[in-house]
Amino acid sequence: MKIYILSSGNYGKRVVNNLAAQLSSQIVGLHEVDEELPEFIEDLTPYLPDNLPESDLIIAVGLKGDINLLVPEIARKTGAKSIIISSNQPTQIPPGLRNEVERDAGDIKTVFAKPFCTLKPTGDQYIDEFVQCFGKPELEVDAHQLIKKVEVKRDAPCGCTAYVASALESVPVEDAEFVAAEKFHNYPCLSSMAKDSELNDSILHVAGYQIKEAVKRGLGFTCKSAVVEQEECQGGDGCQHLCLKVCPQVNAGEPTITVQDDDKAYIDPASCGCCELCISECPYGCIEIVEEKIDV
């Protein structure tokens, strides 16, 4: 696979450096975009890179505003069939601009990842090949009472997963997800702390939920999660499943809260970030945080 990358800012540099450590032989080109460009650009022609190489996948990371409209044109000129555009700030690529990029891309498969570490397989050849190495974190954990070894099956594009994994050895299993959250902030994640209106949370927090989920799934259990009291849940009657609408993980494309056959809500304890937003929104008070071992 041939990958061409457009990056901007410190976040872009971090991602490029981490990707290059594993995919250097597949990266055929890199173009750094000035992070001080205006949000609105009438003529993109002066910003088109010269000598574009033949590519399969275009990755844009850290780009803000109209410069993202350059990505489909670069894909066409390089022959790329797939595009990944990541966001780490709320205003980086708003819905209207995303729609415009998709229209310009036409038949070129285009996915938007906010944050980049929520990227999962899509059924597209080149995106899925990339996701074998980078995207939504995945860990294999060898543990008894203490964590013996953590293998990174899929790293976050910024390298956070590998960093957290290296700090979990010898940690008691019941503390692992909480230590992971602490180490995530120590890395630190360069995503925005500002609330994103689409996610209903900050992009940084949603990124943190991904690494905690990877630890919980690796262990096979969690020690803390929001739980729906099934006998009290009214199945959307009078609430239209508000819990789904406010959940940042659901808004990021995760099946953290689902509606069962009986129309009642269920919260996946592995995916739950314990943000408690569903608790405050449930009009029937049927959701609570449970702090005990729950299999996932």
DSSP 229-252: -TTT--TTTTTSSHHHHH-HHHHT
Pair of tokens at residue 76 = 């066409």
59 with 127, same domain: the answer is yes
What letter represents residue 105's amino acid? Answer: A
What whole-number distance in Å separates Cα of residue 136 and Cα of residue 255? Answer: 14
Last residue of a domain, one of 114, 131, 148: 131
Last residue of a domain, one of 107, 131, 155: 131
56 with 122, same domain: the answer is yes
What whole-number distance in Å separates Cα of residue 78 and Cα of residue 57? Answer: 9
pLDDT at residue 287 tops 90? yes
pTM for this structure? Answer: 0.94
The candidate with the shortest Cα–Cα distance to 152, out of 187, 164, 273, 169, is 164
The CA angle 6-115-119, to the nearest 5 degrees, is 85
12 with 115, same domain: the answer is yes
- Report pLDDT digits (tens) over 18-73: 999 999 999 999 999 999 999 999 999 999 999 999 999 999 999 999 999 999 99
pLDDT of residue 196: 97
10 with 93, same domain: the answer is yes
54 with 142, same domain: the answer is no
What whole-number distance in Å separates Cα of residue 212 and Cα of residue 54? Answer: 38
24 with 124, same domain: the answer is yes
pLDDT of residue 188: 87
- Report pLDDT digits (tens) over 239-274: 999 999 999 999 999 999 999 999 999 999 999 999
196 with 261, same domain: the answer is no
Is residue 267 within 8 Å of 226, Cβ to Cβ? yes
Domain count, the chain: 3
- Backbone phi and psi for residue 178, each to the nearest 5 degrees, phi listed first: -80, -35
What letter represents residue 89's amino acid? Answer: Q
- Report pLDDT digits (tens) over 177-227: 999 999 999 998 999 999 999 999 999 999 999 999 999 999 999 999 999
pLDDT of residue 65: 96
111 with 151, same domain: the answer is no
